[in-house]
Amino acid sequence: METTPVRVEDRMVKQLRGKEIPLVKVIWVGATPENATWELEEKMKASYPFLFTSGNFKDEISKRRGEL
């Protein structure tokens, strides 16, 4: 049985062997925020694109990257 994500709570970029790995902190159905998990952003966008349609979350990512 697959659990459905509710929302993306946070974002970070990990450095691994000189590469940047974008991660998102995901809140899942039935889980508390304390039980959120860090997932690969690319995988989550491919599997759950609806999580990334909120203007607020995109604006926050852009602010963190200095794109706004």
pLDDT in tens, 47-56: 999 999 865 4
User: Reading across the β-sheet that carries 19-28, which strands appear in turn?
Assistant: 5-16, 19-28, 37-40
CA distance linking residue 53 with residue 35, whole number of Å: 23
CA distance linking residue 19 with residue 47, whole number of Å: 23
Mean pLDDT of 36-56: 89
The CATH number of the domain covering residues in 5-65 = 2.40.50
Domain locations in the chain as residue ranges? 5-65
Whole-prediction pTM value? 0.72
pLDDT of 15 above 80: yes
